[in-house]
Amino acid sequence: MASAVAGPEIERLIQLLARLPGLGPRSARRAALHLIKKREALMTPLSSALQVAIGKIQVCKTCGNIDTQNPCTVCTDPRRDQSIIVVVADVADLWALERANASNGLYHVLGATLSPLDGVGPQDLTIDALVKRAHEPQVGEIILALNATVDGQTTAHYITDLLQEANVRVTRLAHGVPVGGELDYLDEGTLSAAMRQRTLF
Amino acid sequence: MASAVAGPEIERLIQLLARLPGLGPRSARRAALHLIKKREALMTPLSSALQVAIGKIQVCKTCGNIDTQNPCTVCTDPRRDQSIIVVVADVADLWALERANASNGLYHVLGATLSPLDGVGPQDLTIDALVKRAHEPQVGEIILALNATVDGQTTAHYITDLLQEANVRVTRLAHGVPVGGELDYLDEGTLSAAMRQRTLF
């Protein structure tokens, strides 16, 4: 029925928008309508921005970041601390850490976390490249910034084992109370970790 | 900081995506990353779909629907009941009613509801065109499918007054309990309306 209302071209646009994370079929329809109403101000610019990005996007050969240059902006930034490599599962995590201004080091994107149940093994991750980078003389610390999930921690242990022979310090993110978080909403695991890793006030 | 990570072209894409309803700055970033990862399967098709839609979208001169043909698919469908005009504030409402298969009549999109506080007066709506359509001999009923808000009901009253001289029945949507709705979550206004407008079982 709906396809009879708006024409196949608009329905196609709605279907594609619905495949974006965060947009369901209903909000995709709303988004499409919003785009159509702002044809000059939003729809045309978005179309060109997509075109430009499609032509320019590259994956950084060094760290796996997504950027419009290769090596990426982070890897080529001379102000970055070349002795630190922050290991993340996904580019989204890299961007999140950058937004938080959390580190001045370089990154290494694994592409995923180990997940035997989903058939994701070490060969599916960029672990070999990481081990190679860890052996470079200027590297002194590998920070494992992986999710605090079973898969994330399995991956962290696996990498730590592989890095035994490299002359680097392997660290991981602290567990604890999220900033702004309320204690009685936190799970027991987080609370006891926060207690164990308490710091001087 | 973030703009230094991903390159200006990707940041521009994120900014445009963030202007879609339903996507905030964070989910726009996630959506951009998703697009980039599915360059062939999603990003390129979306870019083309936007381009095609930009070139084809038209506003129906009769009813105000957005479509790729003018007059729109609804207005040109011979199976539609030409004696009924469903008046809606926005194209989104038209699409919602079509999805629900709620009416077999034609539509009339007002473009907005009257809102004196926001400076929206009768001249900003397509009310003149509606009155003209209501005087056409084949039209027998005008269904006011407007929001059950103050502005929506003000608009409904205003239009009803203007249609006094036309030889049409003016109706509006029923108030009542939403299908699947639970009584103790409903407001008093809805409950008493549902009680007043109760129907035979």
Domains of chain A: 2-56 (1.10.8.420), 66-172 (3.40.1360.10)
- Rounded mean pLDDT, A153-173: 94
Q: For B60, which residue in chain A has the nearest alpha carbon?
A: A6
Is the bond into B71 cis (omega within 30 degrees of 0)?
A: yes
> What's the confidence (pLDDT) of residue B1?
39
Q: For B48, which residue in chain A has the nearest alpha carbon?
A: A47
Q: For B90, which residue in chain A has the nearest alpha carbon?
A: A33
A104 Cβ neighbours under 8 A, 6+ residues apart: A79, A80, A81, A84
Q: Which two tokens stand for residue A20?
A: 């974006």
CA distances from A64 to A93, A109, A148, A153, B157 (A): 12, 5, 21, 21, 61
Indicate the DSSP class of residue A26. Answer: H
Band the pLDDT of A2: cuts 50, 70, 90: very low
Contact B63, B75 (CB under 8 A): yes
Q: Distance (Å, rounded) from C-alpha B84 to C-alpha B98?
A: 14
Which among A16, A53, A65 has CB closest to B45?
A16
Residue A140 has pLDDT above 80, yes or no: yes
What's CA A19's distance to the chain center, in Å?
A: 19
Are A19 and B42 inside 8 Å of each other by CB? Answer: yes
Band the pLDDT of A7: cuts 50, 70, 90: confident
Determine which helix (DSSP H) or strand (DSSP E) holds B84, and give its type and residue range: strand B81-88
Residue B157 has pLDDT above 90, yes or no: yes
Which among B20, B50, B66 has CB closest to A6?
B66
| Average pLDDT in chain A | 91
Interface confidence (ipTM) of the complex:
0.76
Phi, psi of A7, rounded to the nearest 5 degrees: 85, 145
> What's the confidence (pLDDT) of residue A1?
39
Residue B42 has pLDDT above 70, yes or no: yes
Residue B6 has pLDDT above 70, yes or no: yes
Residue A3 has pLDDT above 60, yes or no: no
> What's the confidence (pLDDT) of residue A5?
66
